[in-house]
Amino acid sequence: MCSGNPLTIDTGCLPFIFSCVLICVHPKFLSHAIGMGIACVVWITSTTAACAASALPRDTPDQVLHLLTECSDKKQPSVVVGQYLAHGNHLPWGRTEWLEKLEAETGQKPVIVGADYAYGNGRADDPDIRAINGTLIELWNQGHLIALSWHARNPVTGGTAFDNSPVNLAELSDPKSALGQTWFKELDRIGAGLAELQKAGVVVIWRPFHEMNGRWFWWGNRDGGDRNGHRRRDFVSLWKNTRRYLQERWGLKNLIWVYCASDGAHSASGKHPERAADYFYPGDAECDMVAIDSYSDPFQITAYGTIKKLGKPMAIAEFGPPEKSEKTLVLPEFLDILMTRYPGILYCHAWDGQYALRRQRGAREFLTDPRTITLEKWMVPVVRVP
């Protein structure tokens, strides 16, 4: 099982290492080696606790993906744990409710913490992205990985992401159109926020336009002559143009692009996607990971085989019990299912509210199980090279 940290050796310990070599030559050096060893251990104890977070090799998207991949060891399978905290400026409240209280109750914190640059279904105004970033940077510096969703507002009406008023995706991708100009102003707002995170050294697991194979978001499935006229090629064009614009206009190199579909019969809304999980896939060159959102009890991923065939690192970006039910997941059973039926899932990221980890049964047992990677297991002390 991966701890999330490589072992690095500080030059202050080199005399101890040299002494160990001398023992092989003559036993009289044993007492000297023991003394040096004690000094080295004391140095490690006094210095690594404060700097372990900054010692993690997670400066680039590739390094973060490598860490996540290394933690899915075939000999001893494990999964990194995540928890979504809140939409928009509700983030400080979500940090207390779903992260700090979880730690108080279980002694453990998730590695991945999630947030959103919009409010989702509740409000149709824009949150303070700089305030959101301030919290995310604090969490990153504590050793967490950052996952960002984007419940983008409807660019035609200004309504929420759930406003299904018609949006012509082809026009949206055209910067010369009036709608396109509105959209690119919004991209500039988002790009500025992501650039601020990049300046602070934060790598972002970035999940735009999620659950596109369902009908509940304005960017979602509208193929085959329906009232909004969305087509697969228009969605793919929107994805590619958005990615290209953020990279070229804002110089963003800190994003792990996640293509995230809704599972076949298990969405949070209780509605069923009309298209397969890979139907809107933008192509291998356009994303770094694939993910699925599934709300079910007992837990299952009907689209697992479909997303696995895409050949990308896989994750569960949202999970929990079915919506509008009194059920709660038994998390140890969820973990058993995950390990036996769905190998290769790098992380599982619980949603907030009724779906949050601390609202399910067996959270302490789940988080202390050797097969789950929490921040406490991820952040083992390391010896640093100055």
DSSP state at residue 361: B
pLDDT, tens digit, 9 for 90 and up, residues 180-210: 999 999 999 999 999 999 999 999 999 999 9
The distance in angstroms from the start CA to the end CA of the chain is 27
Q: Which of 161, 147, 174 is nearest to 291 (CA)?
A: 147
Q: What is the pLDDT of residue 23?
A: 42
By percentage, how much of the chain surpasses pLDDT 70? 76
Residue 108 tokens, joined: 């453990």
Q: Which of 292, 300, 350, 359 is nearest to 325 (CA)?
A: 359
Q: Locate tokens 């969490």: which residue?
A: 139
pLDDT at 279 over 60: yes
Residue 179 tokens, joined: 């709608």
Q: What is the pLDDT of residue 231?
A: 75
Per the CB < 8 A criterion, the answer to whether 133 and 191 are in contact is no
Non-local (6+) Cβ contacts of 375 within 8 A are 108, 109, 110, 111, 142, 143, 144
3-state secondary structure of 153: coil
Mean pLDDT in residue range 365-384? 81
pLDDT, tens digit, 9 for 90 and up, residues 196-250: 999 999 999 999 999 999 888 999 886 544 444 457 889 999 999 999 999 999 9
Mean pLDDT in residue range 107-123? 89
For residue 99, name the pLDDT band (cuts at 50, 70, 90): very high
AA letter at 335: L
Q: What is the pLDDT of residue 75?
A: 64
pLDDT, tens digit, 9 for 90 and up, residues 137-174: 999 999 999 999 999 999 999 999 999 888 989 899 88
Helix (H) or strand (E) holding 208: strand 204-208
pLDDT, tens digit, 9 for 90 and up, residues 320-345: 988 767 789 999 999 999 999 998 89
Helix (H) or strand (E) holding 62: helix 61-70
Q: What is the pLDDT of residue 252?
A: 98
Mean pLDDT in residue range 285-299? 92
* Length of the chain (residues): 386
pLDDT at 384 over 60: no
pLDDT, tens digit, 9 for 90 and up, residues 7-64: 333 444 444 444 444 444 454 544 444 444 433 433 333 333 322 333 457 899 999 9
Non-local (6+) Cβ contacts of 369 within 8 A are 332, 335
Dist. CA 216–CA 221, nearest whole Å: 8
Mean pLDDT in residue range 118-131? 81
Q: What is the pLDDT of residue 12?
A: 44
Q: Which residues in 339-354 are b (16+ Cβ under 10 Å) and which e?
A: beebeebbbbbbbbeb
Q: What is the pLDDT of residue 76?
A: 75
pLDDT at 107 over 60: yes
Q: Locate tokens 């896989």: which residue?
A: 314
DSSP state at residue 81: E
Q: Is 25 exposed, middle or buried (0-12, 13-18, 19+ CB in 10 A)?
A: exposed
pLDDT, tens digit, 9 for 90 and up, residues 69-89: 887 665 678 999 999 999 999
Q: What is the pLDDT of residue 272?
A: 60
Q: What is the pLDDT of residue 6?
A: 37
What is the CB neighbour count within 10 angstroms for residue 142?
Answer: 12
By percentage, how much of the chain surpasses pLDDT 90? 62
pLDDT at 269 over 60: no
Q: pLDDT: is 262 or 323 the higher one?
A: 262
DSSP secondary structure string for all residues of 234-280: HHHHHHHHHHHHHHHHH----EEEEEEEEPTT--TTS---SS-TTTT
What is the CB neighbour count within 10 angstroms for residue 1?
Answer: 16
